[in-house]
Amino acid sequence: MRYPIDLHIHTNNNPHAYSTLEENIRSAQAKNMEVIAITNHGPALQDSPHWWSLMNMRVLPEYVGTLRVLKGVETNVVDENGNFDINQRIYDVMDIILCGFHTIEAYGDPRDIIRNTKALVNMINSQKIDIVVHMGNPTFPIEYERVIEEAVKNGVAIEINNSSLRESRKGSKPNCKKILELCKKHDCTISLGTDSHISYDIGEFEEADKLIEETGYPRERIINYSKENLENFLKMRKGKKRKVL
């Protein structure tokens, strides 16, 4: 099925992405999308925008025509104690906060499954983030069930990343299937992101939707299924969020 919401999109404020904000918006409008989230990388990644660029997302309009544009950021886990790489000024501007592992110097060795699991559990527990992204990445082994149980307890969503099932993070697919099966078992909310680095990919969830079909995860439980689901999720998250500092 087509989903009217895409919660993970990059603009060329990250130089490894190729479309401007406006090109992304036009593409989403042409595809009759209802909501998109612009989620550029947090400052710890080599190719991140300057932190002013994230903070200044306050100038973005809430709607362009009928398209809702959420201000977001894809933060980096920087240690195992529940810390990420944005400050309070960026945090306060954002409608939605994604978080995940990327290969950054600050975090160091990605191969320790116990440390990775602890890092995500503490991050979720901190209530500073809304969605854990691309957890199926085999570069960062994780005890999925432990993290998913924590996500359920804290009302945090787990992302299925369409790009992980295509050109990025090779070897993610079997892990993503496992994650979806565990989310189904524990009734954990999932979110879909295309992780678009070019405007044409916005809203294209074909690979993710195939996996959803295979695992039988109920589509109507997915945040991206409807604007109503998204609004309920954001409202619930607002009630739980804590200050960064």
Question: Looking at beta carbons, which residue is closest to Zn ion?
Answer: 195
Nearer to Zn ion (CB atom), residue 74 or residue 130: 74
Is 201 a binder of Zn ion (CB under 5 A)? no
Instruction: Say which residues have a Cβ less than 8 Å from residue 169's Cβ, sequence separation at least 6.
Output: 134, 136, 137, 138, 139, 161, 163
Q: Which span (28-36, 66-74, 84-92, 108-116) binds Zn ion, by CB under 5 A?
A: 66-74
The string over 87-102, giving b where at least 16 C-beta atoms fall within 10 Å of a residue's C-beta and e elsewhere, is eeebbebbbbbbbbbb
CB of 152 to Zn ion, least distance (A): 23
Is 195 a binder of Zn ion (CB under 5 A)? yes
Instruction: Say which residues have a Cβ less than 8 Å from residue 195's Cβ, sequence separation at least 6.
Output: 8, 9, 10, 133, 134, 161, 162, 163, 164, 168, 201
CB of 13 to Zn ion, least distance (A): 12
Nearer to Zn ion (CB atom), residue 45 or residue 182: 45
Nearer to Zn ion (CB atom), residue 80 or residue 195: 195
CB of 9 to Zn ion, least distance (A): 8
**Can you list the positions of beta strands (E) in 117-222?**
131-132, 157-161, 190-193
Size of the site for Zn ion (CB under 5 A): 2
Q: Which span (60-68, 69-77, 89-97, 183-191) binds Zn ion, by CB under 5 A?
A: 69-77
Instruction: Say which residues have a Cβ less than 8 Å from residue 213's Cβ, sequence separation at least 6.
Output: none
Q: Which span (18-26, 68-76, 116-124, 202-210) binds Zn ion, by CB under 5 A?
A: 68-76
Nearer to Zn ion (CB atom), residue 206 or residue 214: 206
CB of 123 to Zn ion, least distance (A): 14
Q: Which span (80-88, 146-154, 187-195, 213-221) binds Zn ion, by CB under 5 A?
A: 187-195
Residue closest to 55 by CA, chosen among 20, 90, 9: 90
Is 204 a binder of Zn ion (CB under 5 A)? no
What are the distances in angstroms from CA 170 to CA 75, 100, 167?
A: 21, 16, 7
Tell me the residue type at 66: T
- Residue 235 phi/psi, 5° resolution? -65, -45
Nearer to Zn ion (CB atom), residue 14 or residue 126: 14
Contacting positions for Zn ion (CB under 5 A): 74, 195
